[in-house]
A and B are shown apart, each in its own frame.
Chain A
Amino acid sequence: QQQVKQSPQSLIVQKGGISIINCAYENTAFDYFPWYQQFPGKGPALLIAIRPDVSEKKEGRFTISFNKSAKQFSLHIMESQPGDSATYFCAASVPSGYALNFGKGTSLLVTP
């Protein structure tokens, strides 16, 4: 049973554009929502994360928007670059949770 639903499955954005990836969850016990970035042949690496007590978190060109009432959160990549081309995973975990529940991933291609 998929606990975190992610869309779109793939995304093509022109250089300089905004990439937006959306996730939704059902379990209201989730209290930690990270985004991971994975390049081919590598393991996922933490990009940015948010807790439900804030509605937005920004780190450089990457922003998480969080809507607790809608149980949705999204990743915005501003000024997308070809080097951002990778697979992005949203995830969620419960307090003191010992595992991340991942979305199915979004393959992002940023064209020059």
Chain B
Amino acid sequence: KNEVEQSPQNLTAQEGEFITINCSYSVGISALHWLQQHPGGGIVSLFMLSSGKKKHGRLIATINIQEKHSSLHITASHPRDSAVYICAVHFGNEKLTFGTGTRLTIIP
């Protein structure tokens, strides 16, 4: 069965801390997305990657294809980073399979 697991489910940290959110999946994939969802519902795509590492501002996403694992890192975290972060993967086709998300709260 094609599954996606995220950890932790909830994460609370102080402003400025380095944040890591993890995503593991069960079988080989063609691509992986990291998504951000703010209160109110809308989802924004942060990264799409199939190998290696991508960086955008304070956000870094890595993927290890052999270990079937990806991480999302946030450096110098800020209260505006508070959101739900969702990992989603393509198991070889157009459809996405989603993790249940990590709720991140950054305290000033």
Asked whether A and B interact, the reply is no
State the B residues within 8 Å of A (CB): none
State the A residues within 8 Å of B (CB): none
